[in-house]
Structures are given as structure tokens and as C-alpha cells.
Amino acid sequence: MTNRPKLPRLSPSRINTYLSCPMKYYFQYEVGAPTIPHVAMLRGTFVHSVLERLMARKPQDRTNEAALNDFTEAQQEMSRDEQFVMLALSDAECEEFWESSRECLRAYYRIEHPRDANVVAIEKWVTAQLGEFEVAGFIDRLERDSQGLVVVDYKAAKPKKAQWSTDYLRQLTLYALMCEAQMNETPHHVRIYYLGGGKDEHTRDERVVAQSVTSATLDSVREDARRVFSGLNTARASDDFATNVTKLCDWCDYKQWCPAHGGDIAKAKAEATVMVQLRRREVGLPESA
């Protein structure tokens, strides 16, 4: 039997990145320019890790004590992680990182009690073929309620403006599309839990953003994915990735090399690699390969 050749693959996060800015996609995925980690990014990773551990337990075992144990285990693991070490946090900054993470978890408990979540799967790998390519990725949490399946994701950030939530919802709807293809069951909703911000800063309704999954939303994300695949092929063939100048440029890791800001694309990978290696040396880590 002849093995079927592997199809080109896109993840929901790559699709969102390209739609946000093709040039950022180029730096991140085509060139592979490394970046120094950010506190916000790693806080999100850490909070996801704690909740993943908690949701892996049977509902009756998702106690407060279990949550504390899961936090401690994830904290020990994160403390040894090279990405965390590269943050080069002071003792005070480190404690602020853990406390802000605790506050994210307190916010989660104000949204729901973990025992009430009917979790079907965590970190579930799903794929769907869309003609000449496929989309694939891991669903953070898939649950079932009285109406059927729901795709859930956590964001360790404050509730976002409408456009940012739209981007996140597109990503989750792509996962719903993959569920439909792989499981022959379409989730009826996608849902985001925003866990950032102080105790009294946001209401539960502000923290939970949900959207129905319909034939229209599925068609929309399917078309988005196809548009990205086509755009990538065109950009690669012409060696021309468009820039998208917005206020988000100020937070982009690649701004200094972006041609829209007077940068030199050709220097991106080499200079970014030097920056990362210098940071690794500063914090006592060996140089990466």
C-alpha cells in the first residue's frame, strides 16, 4: 500500500498570525527568528498548565486542595523551564508573577467551579483536510453540556476589545471545524474565559465570551483558512510578504527588522539569534543549538 503524501499543514494560531500581519508570519515561521520570552506569554502557559492538571482529574477530585497541589507542581516545573529563567526576574518580580497567576485562577473559580465542568478531553489533537492542505492543532478543553460539545479556551489576560475577541473566536471555531471533521459531531458553541485583571475589575459576563457555531461561522473560518493558504503560496512564490501597520506594531517582537519601520529583513534571524544567546548567557544558560 502506498503511503499518502503528507499535506501542507496550518494551525489556527498560524492562520491568525498571517491574517494579523503576513510579515510577522514571515519572521516567525518562514525565517524562524527566535524571540526572548515575555511575562504575559509565560503567565498564560503557566495558568493553562495548572488548569490542565486540574481538569485531568475526575470531577469529584477537583478540590481546592487538588488545585493548590497542581499549582505547586506546575510552579516547580515552570521555575526550571529555560523560558522562565530567560525572563531574568528579580525576587519581587517573580513573586508578582506567581501572585498574578493565582489571581487568574481565582478569576476562573469566580466563573465556574471545576467540579461542574463536564470535560470530554484536554489537549485533544484534531485535524481537518481542506482540499490541498489541512488544519490541525490541540484543543485546550472540550466539554459536553446538555446541548452537546463546547470548545473552551483560557486567556490569562483582561477581557479584550471586540476585534481581539473576534480573532480568538475564529481560532476556536477552526477547532470546532476540526471536531466536525474528525469526530462527526459539531460543537454548538465556542467559549473564551478571560482570567486577567483584579478581583473587582471585571464581571463574570465580561470574562466569558461565547459564540454559537453555525454553518455560517464554519464557512467563514474555512474560507479564512483557504485564503491564508493561497496567500502564503503567492507570498512565497513572489518572496513578498505584506506588512500591516497598526498600533500593535509597538508590541511586535520583529518591529526593528520590519521594512514598514525601516528595518532590514535580511538581518532578522542572525540578529535575533544573537540577542537570544546573549540573554541565555546573562542568566547562566548554555547557548542553544
Listed by start position, the domains of the chain span 119-228
Sign of the torsion angle spanned by Cα atoms 128, 124, 161, 251: negative
Q: pLDDT 10s per residue in the chain (289 long)?
A: 446 668 899 999 999 999 999 999 999 999 999 999 999 999 999 999 999 999 999 999 999 999 999 999 999 999 999 999 999 999 999 999 999 999 999 999 999 999 999 999 999 999 999 999 999 999 999 999 999 999 999 999 998 765 678 899 999 999 999 999 999 999 999 999 999 987 777 888 999 999 999 999 999 999 999 999 999 999 999 999 999 999 999 999 999 999 999 999 999 999 999 999 999 999 999 987 6
Q: What is the pTM of this model?
A: 0.93
Distances (CA, A) of 22 to 13, 16, 30, 133, 238: 13, 10, 10, 19, 13
CATH of domain 119-228: 3.90.320.10
**CB of 82 closer than 8 Å to CB of 139:** no
- CA pair distance 81, 280, nearest whole angstrom: 12
